[in-house]
Amino acid sequence: MRQKTIKGTTKLGESIKSRRQELGLTIEEAATKAGVGTKSWCRYESGESIRNDKAKGICKALNWNTFPDESDTDEFKFDFEKYKKHKAWSQYLCDEFGEAAAISFAIGSDIVLEHIEEDLRELSTMPIGSHLGQIPISMMRDSLPEQFLMRYNYDFLYQLRSTVINIRAIARSGNYFLAHSVLQELVIYMFMQESVFLMDCMFVDMENYGVSGLDMVEDWAFEIFDDMDIVTNLYSNMYLTEENIYHFNHWAASQFHMDNA
């Protein structure tokens, strides 16, 4: 069955925010009532589309029977040519792992870059040494490994942003690329993870269009890494000592696939 969404608009986002404030709810409280993450709620208030399976919970949290102007409910449109012209389109990923991987990379890189820049703007208004854990609503806090939360300061986020921009440039050039550091692995992994929602919305359209590699949508990054160590070490509640190569102190060091560099 085709996935439908409530089409996001600035007006709808403002209505959601206004209603939440009218009810005296914080973003965290509203998100909890709706059964969604705070990051997702922030997206809704900024005007992004809302998947139908999330709509009921949002309406419940806001004491709405339905969304204002729900006649705007629409199918998520897929435009393959748009993605082929994307500034982060990777012909290498397309050739190696399929068109879906290249689309996922482009979508995910846009989302991650936008969220990093939002958090950088927030941290720039705070005292030196402030970290993501001190921001009321951080778009990156839930995406980065929890163990090193207090290390995610302005300098680190700037380095993360630079890594994203560099990897996007390599991708756009069409060149073969590998992750040589944990930081590069982390960025590519986040691209894949952050694209999942939109890829799900577009899945039927992509399938009908004949997009190749749809079975790789949630795995292409691991093919680049040739393992799942980033999940095992950083997203499985394992405590890392400083000797572990996935410890924060080693993230920027070139450690992987150096014989292919």
Same-domain pairing of 240 and 130: yes
Backbone dihedral angles phi then psi of residue 142, each to the nearest 5 degrees: -80, -10
From 57, 75, 93, the end of a domain falls on 75
Do 139 and 248 lie in one domain? The reply is yes
If asked whether residues 227 and 153 sit together in one domain, one would say: yes
- In this structure, are 124 and 61 located in the same domain? no
Both 105 and 188 in a single domain? yes
The whole-number pLDDT of residue 65 equals 76
Do residues 157 and 220 share a domain? yes
Domain with 49 in it: 4-75
Please give the model's pTM, rounded to 2 decimal places.
0.79
58, 75, 92: which is the final residue of a domain?
Answer: 75
pLDDT digits (tens, 9 = 90+) for 109-167: 998 998 899 899 999 999 999 999 998 778 788 899 999 999 999 999 999 999 999 99
Count of domains in the chain? 2
261 residues of the chain, pLDDT tens digit each: 334 567 778 888 888 998 999 999 998 889 888 888 888 888 888 888 887 778 888 988 998 877 876 544 444 567 888 899 999 999 999 999 999 999 999 999 998 998 899 899 999 999 999 999 998 778 788 899 999 999 999 999 999 999 999 999 999 998 888 899 999 999 999 999 988 877 877 888 899 999 999 999 999 999 999 999 999 999 998 999 999 999 999 999 999 876 655
The verdict on 48 and 177 lying in the same domain is no
Same domain, 88 and 201: yes
How much is the pLDDT for 48?
83
The residue from 75, 92, 109 where one domain ends is 75
**pLDDT attached to residue 76:** 52
User: Rounded to whole angstroms, how far apart are CA atoms 87 and 172?
Assistant: 6
Query: Do 3 and 52 meet the contact criterion of CB atoms below 8 Å apart?
Result: yes
In this prediction, residue 103 carries a pLDDT of 96
d(CA 253, CA 244): 12
Residue 231 tokens read as 């999940």
Note whether 112 and 215 are same-domain residues. yes
The domain that contains 60 carries what CATH number? 1.10.260.40
- Over residues 242-252, the pLDDT tens digits come to 999 999 999 99
Task: Name the residue among 154, 185, 160 with its Cα closest to residue 256.
Answer: 185
Q: Assess whether 125 and 223 both reside in one domain.
A: yes
CA neighbor of 119 nearest in space, from 108, 110, 109, 131: 131
Q: Are residues 43 and 145 in the same domain?
A: no
Q: What CA–CA distance (Å, rounded) separates 83 from 102?
A: 8
- Three-class DSSP category at 78: coil
Q: CA-CA distances (angstroms) from residue 18 to 31, 119, 169, 212?
A: 15, 23, 39, 42
Same domain (yes/no): 48, 64: yes
